[in-house]
């Protein structure tokens, strides 16, 4: 099975997770970071795994547009959708906001890879927001973002 993974990332958490997925699939997998390159035509692929990280409730605009432009083709493939969502409380809302309804219905799997707050890599603005987020979460006794390895296992089981 020929698989393509199209993803977006800002601080490389998602990049690292999709490389893990590609390595575990042990088949012909093409990885495309949509922030850096335009994905090729999807015709040559049997399976497509798509997703990216969530910032202030939104996924990357280019990834969102790619899903809309290729909606019909994506619906004809074996499809997996994921988000890297550090704060999973509103995960259903984030999925509904990120992907067209038809893709959400036709996807074989939808998973949250979790997230990490990499303060040392962040822009000044993101660092300020994140520090406030951490304070508020700690005050409420909530959980800080972590990776979700079971989501990776779920994806791998379906696309292996």
Ligand X SMILES: Cc1cc2nc3c(=O)[nH]c(=O)nc-3n(C[C@H](O)[C@H](O)[C@H](O)COP(=O)(O)O)c2cc1C
The first and second tokens of residue 17, run together, are 């997770």
Q: Does 34 bind ligand X (CB under 6 A)?
A: no
Binding of residue 110 to ligand X (CB under 6 A): no
| Residue 51 binding ligand X, by CB under 6 A | no
Residue 9 as a binder of ligand X (CB under 6 A): the answer is yes
Closer of 19 and 78 to ligand X (Cβ): 19
Q: Which of 31, 33, 35, 55 binds ligand X (CB under 6 A)?
A: 55
Whose Cβ is closer to ligand X: residue 97's or residue 108's? 97
- Asked if residue 54 binds ligand X (CB under 6 A), the reply is yes
How far is it, in rounded angstroms, from Cα 104 to Cα 98?
A: 10
How far CA 51 is from CA of 9, 14, 67, 104, 115, in Å, comes to 9, 9, 10, 12, 13
The string over 37-46, giving b where at least 16 C-beta atoms fall within 10 Å of a residue's C-beta and e elsewhere, is eebeebeebe
Using the rule CB under 6 A, which residue among 32, 74, 79, 117 binds ligand X? Answer: 117
User: How far apart are the C-alpha atoms of 81 and 112, rounded to whole Å?
Assistant: 9
| Site string (122-141) toward ligand X, x via CB under 6 A | x---x--xx-----------
| Near ligand X in 73-92, by CB under 6 A | 84-87
DSSP 32-45: EETTTS----GGG-
Handedness of CA 53, 83, 113, 41 (dihedral sign): negative
Q: Does 115 bind ligand X (CB under 6 A)?
A: yes
When the beta carbons of 109 and 129 are compared against ligand X, the nearer one is 129
Q: Which residues bind ligand X (CB under 6 A)?
A: 9-14, 53-57, 84-87, 115-117, 122, 126, 129-130, 145
């Amino acid at each position: 099975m020929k698989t393509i993974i199209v993803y977006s990332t800002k601080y490389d958490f998602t990049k690292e997770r999709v490389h893990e997925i590609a390595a575990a699939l042990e088949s012909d997998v093409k990885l495309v970071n949509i922030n850096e390159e335009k994905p090729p035509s999807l015709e040559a692929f049997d399976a497509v795994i798509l997703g990216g990280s969530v910032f202030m409730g939104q996924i990357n605009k280019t990834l969102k547009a790619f899903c809309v432009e290729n909606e019909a083709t994506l619906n004809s493939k074996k499809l997996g959708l994921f988000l890297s969502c550090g704060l999973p409380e509103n995960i259903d809302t984030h999925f509904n906001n990120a992907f067209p309804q038809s893709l959400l219905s036709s996807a074989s799997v939808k998973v949250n890879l979790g997230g990490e707050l990499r303060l040392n890599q962040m822009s000044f603005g993101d660092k300020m927001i994140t520090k406030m987020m951490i304070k508020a979460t700690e005050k409420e006794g909530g959980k800080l973002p972590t990776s979700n390895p079971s989501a990776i296992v779920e994806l791998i089981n379906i696309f292996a």
